[in-house]
Structure 1
Amino acid sequence: MTTTPAVPSAVPAGQTPAEAAPQAALQSADAYAEAVARAVRAAAAYYDNGSSALDDEAYDRLVREIAAYEARHPDEVLPDSPSGKVAGGAVEGDVPHTVPMLSLDNAFSDEEFSTWAASLERRIGRPVAAWNVQPKLDGLAIAARYEQGRLTRLITRGDGTAGEDVSHAVGTIEGLPAQLTEPVTVEVRGEVLMTTAQFEYANEVRTRHGGDPFANPRNAAAGTLRAKDRAYTVPMTFFGYGLLPLPGTDDELAEELAAEAHGDLMDRAVRYGVNTPASTQVPGRVVTTVEEVLARVREIGELRAQLPFGIDGIVVKADLAADQREAGEGTRAPRWALAFKLPAVEKITRLVDVEWNVGRTGIIAPRAVLEPVEIDGSTVTYATLHNPADITRRGLRLGDHVMVYKAGDIIPRVEAPVAHLRTGDEREIEFPAACPQCGSGIDTGEQRWRCERGRNCHLVASVAYAAGRDQLDIEGLGHSRVVQLVDAGLVSALPDLFDRLTRDDLLGLERMGETSTDNLIAALEAAKRQPLSRVLCALGIRGTGRSMSRRIARHFATMDAIRAADAEAMQQVEGIGAEKAPVIVAELAELADQIDRLAAAGLTMTEPGATPPAPPATEENGADASQPAVPAGPLAGMKVVVTGAMTGPLEKLSRNEMNELVERAGGKASGSVSKNTSLVVAGEGAGSKRTKAETLGVRLATPDEFAELVGEFIM
Structure 2
Amino acid sequence: MTTSPAVSVAPATVLADAAAYAAAVETATRASAAYYETGESTLDDDAYDRLVRGIAAYEQEHPDETSPASPTGKVAGGAVVAGDVPHTVPMLSLDNVFSAEQLVAWTASVERRTGPPVEEWSVEPKLDGLAVAARYEEGALTRLITRGDGTAGEDVSHAIGTIVGLPRTLAEPVTLEIRGEVLMTEEQFERANTVRVEHGGAPFANPRNGAAGTLRAKDRAYTVEMTFFGYGALAVPASGEELTGRLGEWGHGRIMRYVADLGVHTADSTAVAPRVLTTTEAIQARIDEIAAARPGLPFGIDGIVIKADSAADQAAAGFGSRAPRWAVAYKLPAVEKVTTLLGVEWNVGRTGIIAPRAVLEPVEIDGSTVTYATLHNPADITRRDLRTGDKVMVYKAGDIIPRVEAPVAHLRTGAEQPVVFPEVCPQCGSEIDTSEQRWRCVRGRDCHVVASVSYAAGRDQLDIEGLGVTRVVQLVDAGLVRDLADLFTLTREQLLGLERMGETSTDNLLAAIDTARTRPLSRVFCALGVRGTGRSMSRRIARYFAAMEHIRAADAETLQQVDGIGVEKARTVVAELEELAPLIDRLVAAGVNMTEPGATPPAARAEDGAGAEGEGQDTGAGASTAGGAGPLSGMTVVVTGAMTGALEKLSRNQMNELIERAGGKSSSSVSKRTSLLVAGENAGSKRDKAEQLGTRIATPDEFAAIVADFLDTGA
The two structures have a TM-score, normalised by structure 2, of 0.89
Report SS of the residue matched to 2:282.
helix
Report SS of the residue matched to 1:144.
strand
RMSD of Structure 2 on Structure 1 (CA):
3.0
**Equivalences for residues 575-590 of structure 1 within 5 A:** 575-590=564-579
Report whether the alignment pairs 1:75 with 2:64. yes
Q: Are the equivalent residues in 1 in contact too, given 2:373–2:403 (CA < 8 A)?
A: yes
Q: Are the equivalent residues in 1 in contact too, given 2:84–2:152 (CA < 8 A)?
A: yes
Inter-partner Cα distance in structure 1 for 2:532 and 2:611: 34
Q: Are the equivalent residues in 2 in contact too, given 1:367–1:385 (CA < 8 A)?
A: yes
Q: 1:603 aligns with which of 588, 592, 596?
A: 592
**Equivalences for residues 40-119 of structure 1 within 5 A:** 40-87=29-76, 89-92=78-81, 93-119=83-109
Inter-partner Cα distance in structure 2 for 1:621 and 1:308: 37
Inter-partner Cα distance in structure 2 for 1:27 and 1:515: 67
Q: Between 704-713 and 127-136, report the one with greater CA deviation.
A: 704-713
Report whether the alignment pairs 1:660 with 2:660. no
Report whether the alignment pairs 1:423 with 2:413. yes
**Equivalences for residues 477-496 of structure 1 within 5 A:** 477-496=467-486
Report whether the alignment pairs 1:641 with 2:662. no
CA distance 1:152–1:698, shift in 2 (3 Å): closer
CA distance 1:194–1:655, shift in 2 (3 Å): closer
Q: 2:556 aligns with which of 567, 580, 589?
A: 567
Inter-partner Cα distance in structure 1 for 2:677 and 2:610: 40
Report whether the alignment pairs 1:169 with 2:154. no
Inter-partner Cα distance in structure 2 for 1:666 and 1:126: 55
Partner of 2:22: 33
Give the letter aligned to residue 32 of structure 1: Y
Partner of 1:437: 427
Report whether the alignment pairs 1:713 with 2:703. no
Inter-partner Cα distance in structure 1 for 2:627 and 2:408: 59
Give the letter aligned to residue 406 of structure 2: A
Q: Are the equivalent residues in 1 in contact too, given 2:390–2:407 (CA < 8 A)?
A: yes
CA distance 1:100–1:681, shift in 2 (3 Å): closer
Partner of 2:617: none
Give the letter aligned to residue 230 of structure 1: R
Report SS of the residue matched to 2:461.
coil
Q: 1:553 aligns with which of 539, 542, 545?
A: 542
Report whether the alignment pairs 1:368 with 2:358. yes
Shift of 1:614: 5.9
Inter-partner Cα distance in structure 1 for 2:581 and 2:124: 52
Q: Are the equivalent residues in 2 in contact too, given 1:369–1:381 (CA < 8 A)?
A: yes
Report SS of the residue matched to 1:589.
helix
Shift of 1:433: 0.6
Report SS of the residue matched to 1:679.
strand
Q: Between 700-709 and 502-511, report the one with greater CA deviation.
A: 700-709
Q: Are the equivalent residues in 2 in contact too, given 1:643–1:689 (CA < 8 A)?
A: no
Inter-partner Cα distance in structure 2 for 1:437 and 1:650: 42
Report SS of the residue matched to 2:134.
strand
Report SS of the residue matched to 1:84.
coil
Q: 1:462 aligns with which of 452, 455, 477?
A: 452
**Equivalences for residues 83-232 of structure 1 within 5 A:** 83-87=72-76, 89-92=78-81, 93-232=83-222
Identical-pair percentage = 69
**Equivalences for residues 381-400 of structure 1 within 5 A:** 381-400=371-390
Give the letter aligned to residue 548 of structure 2: M
Shift of 1:220: 1.3
Q: Are the equivalent residues in 1 in contact too, given 2:636–2:667 (CA < 8 A)?
A: no
Shift of 1:340: 1.3
Report SS of the residue matched to 1:435.
coil
Shift of 1:651: 5.4
Report SS of the residue matched to 2:143.
strand
Report SS of the residue matched to 1:142.
strand
CA distance 1:178–1:670, shift in 2 (3 Å): closer
Shift of 1:642: 4.7
Structure 2 residues without counterparts, runs of 5 or longer: 1-9, 615-623
Shift of 1:547: 2.5
Number of paired residues? 690
Inter-partner Cα distance in structure 2 for 1:624 and 1:714: 26
Report SS of the residue matched to 2:639.
strand
Structure 1 residues without counterparts, runs of 5 or longer: 1-20
Shift of 1:365: 0.3
CA distance 1:593–1:689, shift in 2 (3 Å): farther
Q: Are the equivalent residues in 2 in contact too, given 1:680–1:698 (CA < 8 A)?
A: no
Shift of 1:182: 2.5
Shift of 1:106: 1.0
Q: Are the equivalent residues in 2 in contact too, given 1:636–1:665 (CA < 8 A)?
A: no
Report SS of the residue matched to 1:87.
helix
Give the letter aligned to residue 580 of structure 1: K
Shift of 1:384: 0.3
Q: Are the equivalent residues in 1 in contact too, given 2:641–2:684 (CA < 8 A)?
A: no
Q: Are the equivalent residues in 2 in contact too, given 1:635–1:662 (CA < 8 A)?
A: no
Partner of 2:394: 404
Partner of 1:8: none
Partner of 1:3: none
Give the letter aligned to residue 129 of structure 2: G
Inter-partner Cα distance in structure 1 for 2:564 and 2:118: 44
Please list the CA deviations of residues 418-454 of structure 1 after superposition, one character each: whole Å capped at 9, or x if unmatched.
1121122211110011111111111111111111111
Report SS of the residue matched to 1:331.
coil
Inter-partner Cα distance in structure 1 for 2:34 and 2:391: 17
Partner of 1:6: none
Please list the CA deviations of residues 385-406 of structure 1 after superposition, one character each: whole Å capped at 9, or x if unmatched.
0000010111111111110000
Inter-partner Cα distance in structure 2 for 1:192 and 1:147: 20
Inter-partner Cα distance in structure 1 for 2:473 and 2:654: 27
Report SS of the residue matched to 2:75.
coil
Report SS of the residue matched to 1:297.
helix
Shift of 1:659: 3.5
Q: Between 113-122 and 450-459, report the one with greater CA deviation.
A: 113-122
Inter-partner Cα distance in structure 1 for 2:384 and 2:564: 28
Report whether the alignment pairs 1:236 with 2:226. yes
Please list the CA deviations of residues 367-418 of structure 1 after superposition, one character each: whole Å capped at 9, or x if unmatched.
0111111111211111000000010111111111110000011110000111
CA distance 1:654–1:231, shift in 2 (3 Å): closer
Q: Are the equivalent residues in 2 in contact too, given 1:497–1:524 (CA < 8 A)?
A: yes
Partner of 1:4: none
Report whether the alignment pairs 1:300 with 2:290. yes
Q: Between 45-54 and 572-581, report the one with greater CA deviation.
A: 572-581
Please list the CA deviations of residues 316-369 of structure 1 after superposition, one character each: whole Å capped at 9, or x if unmatched.
111211211111111111111111111111001111111100110111100011
Inter-partner Cα distance in structure 2 for 1:144 and 1:429: 44
Give the letter aligned to residue 375 of structure 2: L
Inter-partner Cα distance in structure 2 for 1:640 and 1:135: 24
Shift of 1:124: 0.5
Shift of 1:575: 3.4
Q: Are the equivalent residues in 2 in contact too, given 1:672–1:689 (CA < 8 A)?
A: no
Q: Are the equivalent residues in 2 in contact too, given 1:22–1:58 (CA < 8 A)?
A: no
Q: Are the equivalent residues in 2 in contact too, given 1:638–1:678 (CA < 8 A)?
A: yes
Partner of 1:12: none
Give the letter aligned to residue 45 of structure 1: A
The two structures have a TM-score, normalised by structure 1, of 0.89
Q: Are the equivalent residues in 2 in contact too, given 1:680–1:690 (CA < 8 A)?
A: no
Please list the CA deviations of residues 471-510 of structure 1 after superposition, one character each: whole Å capped at 9, or x if unmatched.
1122332223322332333322222222x43344334434
Partner of 1:7: none
Q: Are the equivalent residues in 2 in contact too, given 1:22–1:62 (CA < 8 A)?
A: no
Shift of 1:688: 4.9
Please list the CA deviations of residues 550-573 of structure 1 after superposition, one character each: whole Å capped at 9, or x if unmatched.
232223322223223333433343
